[in-house]
C-alpha cells in the first residue's frame, strides 16, 4: 500500500476565508487554474508515493527532531515562479516567520531522507500556491494590484496530508499532525 503524501502548514479558517475575501474585495481575477481555497496550504516537503513504514518513520523523526517553538506567520503580496513576466505558478509569499518555516522544511527534508526518500535538489521557497498557469502569462500588473495580505496566523503544527488526484483536481485529506 502506498499513498501520495506531503507535509505542509495548514491554513486556519480565519486566514483561509480572509484571503478569499481579500482577493474577492479587490476583484482579483487569477489567471490560469486557481487552486480552490479549501486546498490552500504551505508545502514543507512533498513526499509522493509513501508506504506505511516510511510514513511512520517520517512521523517518528518529526516527533523527535522538530524543536521549533510555535510562532506567528505573516504574509507578503503575490509573486510568481519562475518570474512575474512569464508566470507558471502564482503564489502568496511569506513574510514574518519565514525563517521558522525554513527550519521546519529543513527538518522535514531530513525526515524524508531518514525514511529513504531522495534528497530534494531544489531550494525551498515558502509560498502558498494561488494559481497554476499554462501557457505562462505576465502577472506584473496583478502584483501591483494585490498588495500585502495583512492577516497573521499562529503556527503550532506540521500537517501530513494525503493527496487524491482526480479529474476535477486534487483533494487533500489530513492523515496526521505533529505539534510544535
Ligand atoms: P495537481 O497536481 O492535480 O495540480 P496539486 O499539485 O495540488 O494538484 P499534488 O501534486 O498532490 O497536488 O501536490 C501536493 C502539494 O505538493 C502541492 O503543494 C504541490 O505544489 C506540491 N508538490 C507536488 N509535487 C511536488 C514536487 N515534485 N516537488 C515539490 N513540491 C511538490
Ligand atoms: Mg501537483
Residue with cell 515558502: 126
Give the pLDDT band (50/70/90) at residue 1.
Answer: confident
CA distance 53 to 117: 12
Mutate to test the pocket of ligand 1, among 32, 39, 46, 126 (most ligand atoms within 8 A of CB): 46
**How much is the average pLDDT of 39-65?**
98
Q: Are 58 and 46 in contact (CB under 8 A)?
A: no
Ligand nearest to the Cα of 170, by number: 1
Q: Encode pLDDT of 121-174 as tens digits.
A: 999 999 999 999 999 999 999 999 999 999 999 999 999 999 999 998 999 999
Cα(179) to centroid(ligand 2), Å: 26
Which atom of ligand 1 has the smallest separation from the CA of 169?
Answer: 3
Residue with cell 501591483: 144
Q: Which residues contact 57 (CB under 8 A, 6 or more apart)?
A: 111, 114, 115, 116
Residue with cell 530534494: 120
3-state SS assignment for residue 130: strand
**Residue 82: is the preceding peptide bond cis (ω within 30°)?**
yes
Which residue, by CA, sits nearest to atom 9 of ligand 1? 163
- CATH 3.90.1140.10 is the classification of domain 2-179: yes
Per-residue cell: 177: 499532525
Residue with cell 502568496: 92
Q: Encode pLDDT of 68-83 as tens digits.
A: 999 999 999 999 999 9
Per-residue cell: 50: 509513501
pTM: 0.96
Cα(70) to centroid(ligand 1), Å: 25
**How much is the average pLDDT of 84-108?**
98
Q: Are 78 and 50 in contact (CB under 8 A)?
A: no
Count the helices and strands in the chain (H runs, E runs): 4, 9
Residue with cell 500500500: 1
Q: Encode pLDDT of 21-43 as tens digits.
A: 999 998 889 999 999 999 999 99
Amino acid at each position: 500500500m502506498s499513498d501520495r503524501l506531503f507535509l505542509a502548514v495548514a491554513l486556519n479558517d480565519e486566514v483561509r476565508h480572509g484571503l478569499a475575501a481579500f482577493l474577492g474585495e479587490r476583484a482579483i481575477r487569477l489567471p490560469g487554474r486557481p487552486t480552490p481555497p479549501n486546498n490552500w496550504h504551505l508545502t514543507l516537503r512533498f513526499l509522493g508515493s509513501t508506504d506505511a513504514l516510511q510514513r511512520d518513520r517520517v512521523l517518528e523523526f518529526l516527533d523527535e527532531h522538530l524543536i521549533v517553538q510555535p510562532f506567528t506567520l505573516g504574509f507578503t503580496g503575490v509573486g510568481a515562479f519562475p518570474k512575474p513576466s512569464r508566470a507558471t505558478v502564482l503564489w502568496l509569499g511569506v513574510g514574518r516567520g519565514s525563517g521558522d518555516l525554513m527550519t521546519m522544511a529543513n527538518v522535514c527534508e531530513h525526515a524524508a531522507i531518514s525514511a529513504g526518500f531522495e534528497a530534494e535538489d531544489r531550494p525551498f521557497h515558502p509560498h502558498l500556491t494561488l494559481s497554476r498557469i499554462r501557457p505562462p502569462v505576465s502577472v506584473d500588473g496583478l502584483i501591483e494590484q494585490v498588495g500585502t495580505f495583512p492577516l497573521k496566523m499562529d503556527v503550532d503544527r506540521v500537517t501530513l496530508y494525503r493527496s487524491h488526484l482526480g479529474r476535477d483536481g486534487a483533494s487533500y485529506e489530513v492523515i496526521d499532525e505533529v505539534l510544535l
